[in-house]
Amino acid sequence: MTVARESVLAVLDRISLPDGGTLVSRDLIRALVVEGGAVRFVIEAESPEMARAVEPLRAMAERALLALPGVVSVQAVTTAHGPAAKAPSLKIGQHPTPQPAGPQKVAGIDRIIAVGSGKGGVGKSTVSSNLAVALARQGRRVGLLDADIYGPSQPRMMGVNRRPASPDGKTILPVEAHGVTMMSIGLMLKDDEAVIWRGPMLMGALQQLIGQVDWGRLDVLIVDLPPGTGDIQLTLCQRTQLTGAIVVSTPQDVALLDAKKALDMFRKLGTPVLGLVENMSVYVCPNCGHEAHIFGHGGVAREAERLGVPLLAELPLDLAVREGGDAGRPVAAAEGPLADAYAALARRLVADGMA
């Protein structure tokens, strides 16, 4: 059954904004595609603040459209058009400015969760972006800071490539994607530009990304760390008051061995470990349903038990996760078992007061 574009617009025209008008009358709907029973569109807000305000309407619109006869799936994202993106005169990457000793609270941000891993490529950035999106879908005000300064992947994973504005050359205005306020050094660099900085420059850049970005009021800021136990991790844990850290690992021995080093680092720095996440836990063959433990089985659960920290989630290896990451559409923004797994992780953190 083919759904008429007009019927979709009629439904969206019934979704009212808090300050008047509807999604259609305020001209916020972009890139509306209706293919058979599948509906996709973007809600383009005028500013990051407005994007935050209209985010609950996205969920409302999705529900209303799913009730429309013939509609089988709805995919909607909120983006912020933002003020005219002037090229910032601000330069990222500088020596750190003196700061008071000891971990400091960041004004306006209630909780900060660092997501780390021992080894690269285990899915730390994937978990960070999907967790951020899942939390935003549950109505939390969420920020995502890509602190993987040598290999920033959040712009690709969140589908953003707009350079953030800095109207005054001091404050950086973050971007908005999938309901999440986001900043990455990758947004300030050209695609093929390498960062070749030593420790002090890294510390300065991290200080800028946390302190100079206008994060607004956040319930939680997710920090996607680089892999390993280097300068960035040390600076973040020593300078910023963190709610805690989540360590991502695959069940593979070599990844787990490195994850133990990351866990040891957080312990030595006095950062509470909120729990472990096992990524690429199981692969379910889409043809025959056979379950294969490609990277091994049970190691992360055993390590969590040994440390007395929760195993927060076991996330499957799934092609859709990789494709969603490459396309800038995290699976947590869609519907289905993968989104449900991230929603459960988000719910658990919210219930425990961590996010």
Annotated binding residues for ATP, as ranges? 118-125
**Overall residue count recorded for the chain in this entry:** 355
* Shorter beta-carbon distance to ligand ATP: residue 151 or 216: 151
Q: Could you tell me how many residues of this chain bind ligand ATP (CB under 6 A)? A: 20
Task: Return all residues near 338 (Cβ < 8 A) that are at least 6 apart.
Answer: 315, 316, 318, 320, 321, 331, 332
Does 123 bind ligand ATP (CB under 6 A)? Our answer is yes
Residue 181, CA distances (Å) to 49, 176, 284 in order: 10, 5, 33
Known binding-site residue numbers = 118-125
Does 227 bind ligand ATP (CB under 6 A)? Our answer is yes
* Shorter beta-carbon distance to ligand ATP: residue 8 or 221: 221
- The whole-angstrom separation of Cα 129 and Cα 305 is 26
Does 345 bind ligand ATP (CB under 6 A)? Our answer is no
Considering only residues 37 to 76 of the shown chain, the ones binding ligand ATP according to CB under 6 A are none
* Shorter beta-carbon distance to ligand ATP: residue 124 or 178: 124
Q: Which two tokens stand for residue 145?
A: 């800071």
Q: Which two tokens stand for residue 91?
A: 């330069």
* Shorter beta-carbon distance to ligand ATP: residue 19 or 191: 191
Considering only residues 289 to 328 of the shown chain, the ones binding ligand ATP according to CB under 6 A are 315, 317-318, 321-322, 325
Does 124 bind ligand ATP (CB under 6 A)? Our answer is yes
Shortest Cβ 128–ligand ATP spacing (Å)? 7
Among 121, 200, 270, 336, binds ligand ATP (CB under 6 A): 121
- Contact range with ligand ATP by CB under 6 A, out of 74-82, 93-101, 117-125, 265-273: 117-125
Contact 302, 256 (CB under 8 A): no
Among 44, 146, 148, 278, binds ligand ATP (CB under 6 A): 148
Site string for ligand ATP, 241-280 (x = CB under 6 A): --------------------------------------xx
Does 130 bind ligand ATP (CB under 6 A)? Our answer is no
* Shorter beta-carbon distance to ligand ATP: residue 123 or 159: 123
**Torsion, Cα of 59, 319, 161, 22 (10° steps):** -20
Q: How many CA atoms lie within 13 A of 77 on its CB side?
A: 20
* Shorter beta-carbon distance to ligand ATP: residue 88 or 159: 159
Shortest Cβ 123–ligand ATP spacing (Å)? 3
Contact 146, 114 (CB under 8 A): no
The separation between the first and the last C-alpha atoms of the chain, rounded to the nearest angstrom, is: 41
Among 56, 93, 96, 120, binds ligand ATP (CB under 6 A): 120
Does 126 bind ligand ATP (CB under 6 A)? Our answer is yes
Site string for ligand ATP, 170-209 (x = CB under 6 A): ----------------------------------------
67: which DSSP letter?
A: T
Radius of gyration for the alpha carbons in the chain, expressed in angstroms and rounded: 21
Residue 331, CA distances (Å) to 78, 115, 316, 339 in order: 15, 18, 12, 6
Helix (H, G, I), strand (E, B) or coil at 279: strand
Mark 315-349 as b/e (b = at least 16 C-beta within 10 Å).
Answer: bbbbebbeebbeebbbbbbeeeebbebbbebbebb
Contact 149, 155 (CB under 8 A): no
* Shorter beta-carbon distance to ligand ATP: residue 88 or 328: 328
Q: Which two tokens stand for residue 224?
A: 């996607």
* Shorter beta-carbon distance to ligand ATP: residue 151 or 211: 151
Does 155 bind ligand ATP (CB under 6 A)? Our answer is no
- Site residues (vs ligand ATP, CB under 6 A): 117, 120-126, 148, 151, 153, 227, 279-280, 315, 317-318, 321-322, 325
